[in-house]
Chains A and B, each alone.
Chain A
Amino acid sequence: MAFQLLRRALTSRPDQIISSPSAFSAVRAFSSAPITATLFPGDGIGPEIAEAVKQIFREAEVPIEWEEHYVGTEVDPRTQSFLTWESLESVRRNRVGLKGPMATPIGKGHRSLNLTLRKELNLYANVRPCYSLPGYKTLYDDVNLITIRENTEGEYSGLEHQVVRGVVESLKIITRQASLRVAEYAFHYAKAHGRERVSAIHKANIMQKTDGLFLKCCREVAEKYPEITYEEVVIDNCCMMLVKNPALFDVLVMPNLYGDIISDLCAGLIGGLGLTPSCNIGEGGIALAEAVHGSAPDIAGKNLANPTALLLSGVSMLRHLELHDKADRIQNAVLDTIAEGKYRTADLGGKSTTSDFTKAICDHL
């Protein structure tokens, strides 16, 4: 255990995406028996990129057995959405999962699929590491930050109603418990990965009580970690600073809505959602890694999709399972393939198909 921690502390930053200290998860005993993980291929391009991930994991001899679950075609009354109770039970049992993109319809009556997962599995933190990929040039070269977003409450509570015709109210809820939880995770993550600064993003000058409570909780947790610098930044300043000089930020922790916007903004800085890994952390050490891009129905089934996001998310899942050498191998293979530039999918400016890209990564392993 100590050796693992030492190794983790000495390895360079981009290799560490998710940590799993004993405080936050049950220690997974080392075993050569395959680990079962839930896989949600999702909609649109989901099945193709899930296939690519499975192929690469097979090539790399990763000891994972996938339990696949699909989104249903009708609303399951037990979960109020298209996801069945069995799928959710599977994730709870396996403690680890990988999710492809799922379509969220605009304006319909039922609960969004992603929100359902979050609520049912109590996934309280969404962690998105954003670092400039060597070899893929964007307008920003020096991005190296992590956004940690509170994932259960805030503006996305889904509590809206029409007061009278033409007047709608939507509730934003902030609780002490949820804010403390995500602040704890943020500081713990910063400490485990050797990060020096945690910034809390808020709009407490306007929303005094709600964001004020969030800030209070962050300050309380900050006192327990005196070695980590803590600062508070108003969200409009944060947006401006991010687009002018992203190197100013290290770890960002924020409530739900701001987190959504800022994490997508950071994804845009490094090249888009097609390249960004993401992981959702739940109570009891559940980790559900996911590809955050959309389901791209227009290129579904045409072998054109970019599997990088799902692959890097799979890598973060492997790190959570403490299979660090496999994770490193696959991550390096992906980064090398992109850096080489010979095989790139259409969204990165190349002309390869998904299968060619996958094969190139397998060759790099």
Chain B
Amino acid sequence: MAKRSVPLLKQLLSSSAAVSSSCSSRFTSHRSVTYMPRPGDGSPRAVTLIPGDGIGPLVTGAVEQVMEAMHAPVYFERYDVHGDMPKVPQEVIDSIKKNKVCLKGGLATPMGGGVSSLNVQLRKQLDLYASLVNCFNLPGLPTRHENVDIVVIRENTEGEYAGLEHEVVPGVVESLKVITKFCSERIAKYAFEYAYLNNRRKVTAVHKANIMKLADGLFLESCREVATKYPGIKYNEIIVDNCCMQLVSKPEQFDVMVTPNLYGNLVANTAAGIAGGTGVMPGGNVGADHAVFEQGASAGNVGNEKVTEQKKANPVALLLSSAMMLRHLQFPSFADRLETAVKHVIFEGKHRTKDLGGNSTTQEVVDAVIATLD
């Protein structure tokens, strides 16, 4: 998503750089190739909406408002799910299976014992095996690192999150990390296919096979096999600790990264942090049949009560994820309009929430986005 609009933005910026024109003309969305829909594609699509906990309802409310302002052909079926429920209600699962697409705020995960994370449960039940986070520098948002445009594709169902733990004897606990060829292969295939379809040049596999020789070794083997089928895409491997080190010093060397479950979580959050924070990075989970879009990294982080009370949560991440969702539903021009508006608001810098260094509330940012929509 970023890849398409960044060259567009660069072109627009360079052409108007000589003339000190007003900001709005630089950011009009401009699609030169017409998308020809099938007859009937414009009829409204149902999307399951899960507001979630903490800041979830705030940011999903923001998305609903913007969608209405754009008259986008989507309507939301809202379901209430909270992190402390024992499992995701069956009606929600049925709704997602019917609609195939869902938009979700974060679900809080209780610590330490008892209920396992509902975010993880949802992914496993719907077999959403690929989690994608797109971390990129937003123009106008100053960060320490430049030229960041990384997509982290993370295996979402097995690995360290298999949830198989038991106490051997009192004081000794074991947790199983399971890696299978089947899951490793399909995530590698997804990563290379993504790179191919989005004109990405390089795929990097992140692992720790020097220590976990069999488990991560199996993951690497699967990646290598799939790499041979895409000779036009460069493939390399990097150990996870070196990867984190390179991310904080030279992030421009990374393009698409494919990782098993736990490393993916860390790498995605690190990459999101260097590019501006988890408040602005879009992402989602996708499987063979369903897709759930949510805030890119750190879905379990629903903010603290102060942010929720003061209504200062950052809606940018979920807005950009909903743009990804619109493209997934094949409404590209709505997606473009939404993205351009959001990026324009960030670039202007007048309405930014606290995590970006400003002082606006969620509603102010939403109003600014709606005002900028063309």
Contacts and interface: CB of A to CB of B under 8 A. Distances in A.
Given A156-B211, A160-B213, A265-B270, A208 B113 contact: yes
Contacts of B278: 240
Interface string A78-118: 00000000000000000000000000111110001001000
A183 to B, nearest CB: 14
Given A107-B209, A205-B300, A236-B301, A212 B272 contact: no
A264 B244 contact: yes
A175 B270 contact: no
B132 to A, nearest CB: 16
Contact of A206 (B161, B246, B270, B274): B161
Contacts of A167: 178-181
24 contacts: A107-B213, A107-B217, A112-B210, A139-B249, A155-B212, A160-B213, A165-B181, A168-B178, A168-B180, A170-B176, A170-B212, A171-B177, A208-B111, A208-B112, A209-B167, A212-B111, A212-B113, A234-B301, A236-B265, A239-B273, A260-B208, A261-B240, A261-B266, A265-B241
Contact of B176 (A169, A174, A204): A169
Contacts of A175: 171-173
Contacts of B209: 106-107
Contact of A209 (B165, B247, B300): B165
Interface string A103-145: 0111110001001000000000000000000000011100000
B215 A140 contact: no
Interface of B is mostly: mixed
A208 B110 CA distance: 10
A236 B269 contact: yes
Interface string B84-111: 0000000000000000000000000111
B361 interface: no
A232 B263 CA distance: 20
Closest 8 pairs (CB-CB, A-B): A268-B245, A166-B181, A176-B171, A264-B241, A243-B273, A240-B273, A205-B109, A236-B269
Nearest to B279: A240
A161 interface: yes
A172 B160 contact: yes
Interface of B: 109-114, 116-117, 120, 144-145, 160-161, 163, 165-167, 170-182, 208-215, 217-218, 240-242, 244-249, 262-263, 265-266, 268-270, 272-274, 277-278, 297-298, 300-301
Interface in A227-275: 232, 234-237, 239-244, 257, 260-265, 267-269, 272-273
Given A139-B145, A160-B214, 19 more contacts: A106-B209, A106-B210, A155-B177, A156-B212, A168-B178, A170-B179, A203-B262, A208-B113, A209-B166, A236-B266, A236-B268, A239-B270, A240-B277, A241-B273, A242-B273, A243-B270, A261-B263, A264-B241, A268-B246
Contacts of B273: 239-244
A260 B241 contact: yes
A158 interface: yes
A261 B180 contact: no
B177 A169 contact: yes
B180 A166 contact: yes
Contacts of A140: 144, 248
Q: How large is the interface on A (under 10, 10 to 19, 20 to 34, 35 or more residues)?
A: 35 or more
Contact of A273 (B213, B245, B277): B245
B215 A160 contact: yes
B178 A265 contact: no
Residue among B179, B241, B265, B297 with most chain A CB within 10 A: B241
A173 interface: yes
A315 interface: no
Nearest to B83: A205
Contact of A170 (B117, B144, B177, B246): B177
Contacts of B262: 203, 257
A171 B182 CA distance: 20
A236 B295 CA distance: 14
B298 A240 contact: yes
A351 B227 CA distance: 38
Contact of A205 (B110, B165, B208, B214): B110
Nearest to A244: B273
A13 to B, nearest CB: 22
Nearest to B239: A106
A213 interface: yes
Contact of A172 (B163, B177, B241): B177
